[in-house]
Amino acid sequence: ASVRYQGANIRGTITTTSGASIDSLYTGREIFQSQSRGDTIVLGNTGAAVGTAADSGVGGATLSVAHTSTSFAAGSGVLTGTDSATGDTVLGPAGAHKLTIVDTSGTGAFGTISLDGGPEVNFTAADTNLLVTSGTGDKVYLDTTAITAGFSGDVDITGTGTLSTDGGATTIPIDFSANQQVVDSVTGQVTNIDSSGILRAGEASVEFSGTADAFTVLKQLREDLLNTRGLSNEELGDALNRRVADLDRHRDNILTIVGDQSATLESLEATQQRLEEVQLNLAGVISDRESADMVEVVLNLQNEQNMLQYTFATTSRLFDINLLNFLR
């Protein structure tokens, strides 16, 4: 199962009295879903490869390569067997696979058939669902009831199929081109596939390197340690190296965010300390006002008023003397 983030997409902030905004909470997406998109990687033996356009997929995907029909070049008389539609695995344009038929009877009654140079299989004119397997494990089911008398030679095979990244909920026909866009109907994510080299049905593992979230990376690491995808030793070693690189990427991102939050915490602590100092000073001022002796305050006020009146009287007297002297 994939990991889906259902948390907030906006950081929690605190606004100080000065109007400054401080980030207090980071989103889980920022912490655990950092991305540094790299090259897309397609693993498996289907022949599917990375397309030419940019992908939008995240983490990884399973590309289902399915067979739909098999047909043969005219002349040999060979037909598709009863289980061909569901059992054949050969895919590709005409000539991508070949049957080699040898009518040893000269009448089409019996002979041998091989697929892509693989083991020869005996046939008779009574076979309607003959399984022929190549040396690489590709399969075709054949009806040999109408083999052309005396035919011996190669027969080009055409195999058609479909691509899907949503488990077959939606499919597109394989056109064996350099780029086909496969869309996941559930997530809307686009995977670009080079289908020109597809040769067989099966499943291919697609990795969108640098995009897996921290939890998906741990899941992928567990699966690769168990080699659930059946990778070769070389492919498995490369996959484990990518998992380690993903873990390093998330570690670096988390450490960066921890550093940012440490700076934020330091700023908040400094603000809190300043606020406590202001509160302490304010409490002192209030205490001074509230603890004053009212009698003493009234007496001091009366003394101040008396002194002011005395000053006014003295000043007035001085002015009167100066004016009288001036008139004299």
Q: What confidence tens digit (pLDDT) does each residue in 317-326 have?
A: 544 544 444 4
Q: What is the pLDDT of residue 173?
A: 98
* pLDDT exceeds 70 at position 310: no
Residues 168 and 300 both lie in one domain: no
The count of structural domains within the chain is: 2
> Which pLDDT belongs to residue 269?
76
Say if residue 66 is in the same domain as residue 192. Answer: yes
Per-residue pLDDT band for 286 (boundaries 50, 70, 90) equals confident
Q: How many CA atoms lie within 13 A of 226 on its CB side?
A: 6
**Maximum distance among all Cα pairs of the chain, rounded to whole angstroms:** 165
Query: What span, in angstroms and rounded, lies between the C-alpha atoms of 178 and 197?
Result: 9
Q: Specify whether 141 is located in the same domain as 222.
A: no
Give the tens place of pLDDT for each residue, 89-137. 999 999 999 999 999 999 999 999 999 999 999 999 999 999 999 999 9
Supply φ then ψ for residue 23, to 5 degrees. Answer: -70, 120
Instruction: Report phi then psi at 198, rounded to 5.
Output: -65, 130
Instruction: Please give the residue that has the higher pLDDT: either 261 or 271.
Output: 261
Q: Which residue, 182, 209, 236, sits at the end of a domain?
A: 209
Q: What is the pLDDT of residues 193-244, one digit of tens each?
A: 999 999 999 999 999 999 888 888 999 999 999 999 988 999 999 999 999 9
Lowest mean pLDDT: which of 74-83, 228-237, 272-281? Answer: 272-281
DSSP SS3 for 1: coil
Domain boundaries, position 282: 213-318
Mean pLDDT confidence for 244-262: 88
Whether residue 155 lies inside any domain: the answer is yes
Write the DSSP assignment of 232-250 as a string of letters.
Answer: -HHHHHHHHHHHHHHHHHH
Residues 92 and 161 grouped into a single domain: yes
Question: Looking at residue 258, what is its pLDDT?
Answer: 85
* Reported confidence tier of residue 26, pLDDT bands at 50, 70, 90: confident
Answer whether residue 175 shows pLDDT above 60: yes
> Are 138 and 223 in the same domain?
no
Structure-token pair, residue 241: 């190296």
In this structure, are 259 and 176 located in the same domain? no
Question: What would the two tokens of residue 54 be?
Answer: 């940019």
- Residue among 76, 81, 82, 83 nearest 99 (CA): 76
pLDDT (0 to 100) of residue 169: 96
pTM for the predicted model, two decimal places: 0.73
Query: Does 115 reside within a domain?
Result: yes
Indicate whether 9 belongs to any domain.
no
Residue 169 burial by Cβ neighbours in a 10 Å radius (0-12, 13-18, 19+)? exposed
Last residue of a domain, one of 181, 209, 237: 209
Same domain for 102 and 156, yes or no, is yes
| 66 domain-assigned | yes
Boundary residue ending a domain (209, 235, 267): 209
- 5 inside domain: no
CA torsion through residues 206, 210, 211, 216, sign:
positive
Average pLDDT, the chain: 86
188/220 same-domain check:
no
| One domain for residues 116 and 226 | no
H helix count then E strand count, the chain: 5, 16
Residue 23 in any domain: the answer is no
Task: Answer yes or no: is 12 within a domain.
Answer: no
168 domain residue, yes or no:
yes
**pLDDT (0 to 100) of residue 328:** 46
Comparing CA positions, the residue from 87, 77, 75, 76 lying closest to residue 132 is 87
Cα gap 258→114, rounded to integer Å? 64
Percent of the chain residues topping a pLDDT of 70: 86
Burial class (CB in 10 A: 0-12, 13-18, 19+), 310: exposed
Length of the chain: 328
